[in-house]
Structure 1
Amino acid sequence: MALVKPSNTTFAKIKVIGIGGGGSNAVNSMIISKQIQGVEFIAINTDAQALLTSQAETKLQIGSNFTKGLGSGADPEVGKTAAEESYEKLKDLLYDTDMVFITAGMGGGTGTGASPIVAEIAKQSGALTVAVVTKPFAFEGNKRMHAAEEGINFLRETVDTLIVIPNQRLMDVVDKKMTLLDAFRLADNVLGQGVQGISDLITVPGLINVDFADVKTIMTDSGSALMGIGEASGENRASTAARMAIASPLLEVSIEGARGILFNIIGGEDMTMTEVSDASQIISNAADPQANVIFGATIDETMGNNIKISVIATGFDEQQMGYASSRRQPFGAFSSDSQSRLSRSQPSEPTQTKIDRTPDGYTQPLTTTQITSSKTNESPFVQSDGFRSDEQPKSAIKAKSATPTTEFEDEFEIPAFLRKKQ
């Protein structure tokens, strides 16, 4: 019988799209790191000059007639209008795509305003749509935070899964002596891990494969979700990596009660069946007894003595996650004028709003990211070498590194070990 060699057209087509200054910076970092393979990187911006610095193979300037290529001026309404002007170009860009990752810094103009439009087009094209976005630091002010929250609320309605990374929360767990540049790079790393943790499940071939259909089963309109990554070496490395993947000091909730679990374990040739079994047992025990568990195992010689585990958990109860499912007016706080105009773009039939968080625990505790399937969480950002919310005020870097709770951060959003300090 003749062997049939798979062609590239049989692989899942995955696109990672950076929108606005923050999203484009994040994509640049992912490209430079060379850790995410088998995907197409795309940069979308209203700022023509900023696009010149993008290392993405595909670049799209949106709203060229409306903005003249000069950016959005930190106005989400401008970002939204620019995306609407380029609607057909965006449709062509997302045509025939299986999965779309959207990265953006919420609170600015292009990322906040255009991301929901891009997500809506991706979802309508039939692609599994996952957004990995950031929320501003508290020192950036209430106005920017409010804009980010409104943008996140709107984005939540248009994606399958939403991962929100809290910059402010990140400040609570890093070394206080960490330089500003290193902090930005760390935030960027966390965002990249959010994308890589999911894409690796699909693009990295395994001894026991987790394919795109498995990921789609777990993540499509699945409600709140958690996503975590753990990596460890030495004695009990598999058990340690499993526990890191399902828990983090950045999160208060665990995967307890999850009704859908998808995880992948990667190790060297010395990885044993007992280690795979131990890790599987730890993750399964933390979920609902009736959970649908899908797992994969991959042998990677470059792992050395390390074992790495990626986990996606879905199917949580809304009350368990502590989020209200009520829909809020998207972009309602930008301005009285923009509110009426933006409301016209709301989907006629809102998808159900579910939220959640996720850990990306890596070897260090602060690597865990929050994830929200079809709905939301929190976020950070960086600039140039780090991921930063697009068009962040330069004055922001002079602010002190205090970590106050703003009116936009529920007490529930603060981990227990941090709440006790307040």
Structure 2
Amino acid sequence: MTTNSHDASHLHAVNIVTGIPSAEGVSSIPISDCQMRSQCGNSDDFSEWVQIRVIGIGRSGCQIVDRLYQRKYEEQCVQLIAIDVNEASLYQCGADKHIHLAASVADREKYVAEIRVRVEQAKEAICSAMRRAHMLFIVGEASDSTGNAAAPLIAKWASEMHIPNVGALIMPCKSDTDIGNELAYDTLNQMRLIADSVIEVSADDVRKHLHRHATSACISLEANALVSEAIRGVIDLVMLPGYVCVDFADVCSAFDEPDIGVIGIGFASGPDRAHLAAEQAWSSPLMGGIQTSQINALIAIISVAPGTFRLSEGKTVMTTILNKVSSETFFIYGARFNPSLGDRIQVTIIATGHTR
């Protein structure tokens, strides 16, 4: 569902099949997993169904892909590709396709250059994996040598193939080595020039989200989890039945914004859970204290356990967030199932189109 207005009084759901607003405010034709599977998986021609690719690069990228792989999406609709230099860790990662980049030079600058050559040599395999995709996510750690070499090239090839592509990069703590930070910002700047949109997850912000004494390993795992959760939310909204479904073209429009994107996540329970979770997501350290006037597009993903969602909660989340942004902000919201939440509600915000 999309809106550009601060008036949430006309909140309604959209039928996932027809795109027609339903009279009751919920999807008028619920679609079972079996029906979705038959639409995506049993057709001889998948070109008419939305196809999403996620490419994980380097250690963190492969860990993110592995998390998503546990979701068991239909392979024809969602394909997960892992790319890394370390062959042992690469094949321990759950993915639909593994691409190994053999590189052995010890010097860092020469190492990045060699990986870039290996990526070029693997172009046919990478482009074959991306073929027929309607959206591509490129994920990994920005300070990783493999990510620095591969991510911009893959984004460039995706653009040449007219595939909307979104980079989701984990940035290192500012206290990390100068070399790591230099490599990270080089990756980020290249991706900003090439990719349609770039989501930045700052390790410093993740540390605030946890606690200031969190170890580097904990910060890395939490950052990977946040990126995978945000991407899973977008995929689920587009691919799976839910309480309030969204149009894929609107999702593409939200990501077709220059500059940087950020993620905020909030959880709450109780009678006022929708408002509390929306406020928590908005004030999350992961949002980096951005100015509301800087946001051009925003996706709000509501996650609830089946049978616990009230339409008024969708309106509450929508109103809470819309009151914080410009009336010109392109806004999408949707609601999906997550049985593990119990009586809690989760609100995930992806804001794009601003400069830090």
TM-score bin (small chain) = 0.7 to 0.9
Task: Check whether the contact 2:236–2:336 (CA below 8 A) recurs between aligned residues.
Answer: no
Q: Does the 8 Å contact 1:238/1:275 carry over to 2?
A: yes
Counterpart amino acid of residue 301 in structure 2: N
Code of the residue aligned with 1:253 in structure 2: it is: I
2:63 is matched with which residue: 22, 25, 49? 25
- Equivalent positions of 1:13-162 (< 5 A) are 13-31=51-69, 34-35=70-71, 37-38=73-74, 39-62=78-101, 64=102, 67=103, 70=104, 74=108, 75-162=111-198
Structure 2 counterpart of 1:266 = 303
Q: What TM-score results when the alignment is normalised by the length of structure 2?
A: 0.76
Q: Which secondary structure state, in structure 2, belongs to the residue aligned with residue 286 of structure 1?
A: coil
Q: 1:287 aligns with which of 325, 333, 339?
A: 325
Counterpart of 2:281 in structure 1 is: 245
Whole-angstrom distance in 2 between the partners of 1:300 and 1:47: 34
Choose between structure 1 and 2 for higher RCO, CA contacts under 8 A separated by at least 6 residues. Answer: 1
Shift of 1:35: 4.8
Corresponding residue of 2:350: 312
Alpha-carbon distance in structure 2 between the residues aligned to 1:138 and 1:24: 23
Matches of 1:12 and 1:72, distance apart in 2: 42
| CA-CA distance at 1:182 after TM superposition | 3.7
- What corresponds to 1:232 in structure 2? 268
Q: Which runs of 5+ in 2 are unaligned?
A: 1-28, 30-34
Tell whether the 8 Å contact from 2:142 to 2:170 is kept in structure 1 after alignment.
yes
Closer/same/farther in 2, CA of residues 182 and 11 from structure 1, 3 Å limit = same
Name the CA distance, whole Å, in 1 between partners of 2:121 and 2:294: 43
The aligned counterpart of 1:6 is: 39
Q: Following TM superposition, by how much is the alpha carbon of 1:210 offset from its aligned partner in structure 2, in angstroms?
A: 0.8
Report how far residue 225 of structure 1 moved.
3.8
For 1:163 and 1:29, locate their aligned partners in 2 and report how far apart those are by CA, in whole Å. Answer: 18
- Pick closer, same or farther for the CA change 1:24–1:248 going to 2, 3 Å: same
Q: Report deviation, 1:162.
A: 0.9
Counterparts of residues 307-386 of structure 1 (less than 5 Å):
307-316=345-354, 321-322=355-356
Secondary structure of the equivalent of 1:297?
strand
Alpha-carbon contact 1:51-1:61 (below 8 Å) kept: yes
1:200: which partner in 2? 236
Task: Count how many residue pairs are aligned between Structure 1 and Structure 2.
Answer: 309
Distance 1:198 1:219 in 2: 11
1:61 Cα deviation after fit? 2.1
Report the counterpart of residue 226 of structure 2 in structure 1. Answer: 190
- The alignment's TM-score, normalised by the length of structure 1, stands at 0.65
Shift of 1:283: 1.3
Change (3 A) 1:121 1:166: same
> Following the alignment from structure 1 to structure 2, what is the Cα–Cα distance between the partners of residues 118 and 293?
28
Shift of residue 19, structure 1, vs aligned partner? 1.2
Report how far residue 59 of structure 1 moved: 0.7
Q: Secondary structure at the match of 2:194?
A: coil
Q: CA deviation at 1:36?
A: 7.5
SS in 2 for 1:228: strand
- Give, in angstroms, the shift of residue 239 of structure 1: 0.5
Q: Give CA-to-partner distance per residue, 1:233-282, whole Å, 9 cap, x none.
A: 11310001111232222411144464434333333424323222221111
**Which amino acid is 2:299 matched to?**
L
Per the TM alignment, residue 142 of structure 1 is displaced from its structure 2 partner at its CA by 0.6
Q: What does the per-residue CA deviation read over 1:142-183, in whole Å, with 9 as the maximum and x for residues that have no partner?
A: 112112211221122121111222223433443355566544
Note if contact 2:233-2:301 (Cα within 8 Å) is conserved in structure 1.
no
Contact 1:12 1:98 in 2 (8 A): yes
Write out per-residue CA displacement over residues 174-202 of structure 1, whole angstroms, 9 at most, x where no aligned residue. Answer: 33555665444323222322322332322
CA deviation profile, 1:272-298 (whole Å, cap 9, x unmatched): 232222211111111212434333334
Question: Contact 2:200–2:262 at 8 Å: present in 1 too?
Answer: no
Distance 1:50 1:207, change over 3 A: closer
Go from structure 1 to structure 2 and tell me whether the alpha carbon gap of 1:48 and 1:15 turns closer, same or farther (over 3 Å shift).
same
1:214 pairs with one of 250, 256, 267 = 250
Residue 129 of structure 1 deviates from its aligned partner by 0.8
Give me the whole-angstrom Cα distance separating, in 2, the residues matched to 1:73 and 1:45: 18
**Conserved 8 A contact 1:104-1:112:** no
SS in 1 for 2:82: strand
Change (3 A) 1:288 1:315: farther
